[in-house]
Structure 1
């Protein structure tokens, strides 16, 4: 876990609230859950790279190549 986290809230002219956790980790979603419930419905969520730091996440890339033969040849 990071030493401290900063939670930034911005309220747009349209009333839309943007929440951003700085120096967060995988606990940031749990840390902000109660605040989000009090504010309203979460429309979308984008996790920052800090969320994925640590040993608990292993990035695996799998590529598949598929060749299709046509009946024309």
Structure 2
């Protein structure tokens, strides 16, 4: 069953449109709005909310490298 998502649009006095996806998580946020975004035109900027990253495992790796000098004869 598909999850219900609400998309909110705010149009500023300068004509810029701000789009916010509510009740969405992961890539479904961007998939939900991709068609209308392409119809509206060029996207100036995109800010992903924390919900976009829900459910993803964030792997953090820490790598340390040691160099040893060989013994000189």
Q: TM-score, normalised by structure 2?
A: 0.71
Identify the residue that residue 34 of structure 1 maps to in structure 2.
35
The unaligned stretches of length 5 or more in structure 2 are 65-73
1:49-72 CA-partner distances (Å, limit 9, x unpaired): 111111x3314275x8xxxxxxxx
Q: How does 1:15-34 map to 2 (within 5 A)?
A: 15-25=15-25, 26-34=27-35
The number of equivalent residue pairs is 62
Moved over 6 A (4+): none
**SS of corresponding position for 1:60:** coil
Q: TM-score, normalised by structure 1?
A: 0.71
Larger radius of gyration: 2
CA RMSD of the aligned region, Å?
2.2
The unaligned stretches of length 5 or more in structure 1 are 65-73
Q: How far off its partner does 1:27 sit?
A: 1.2
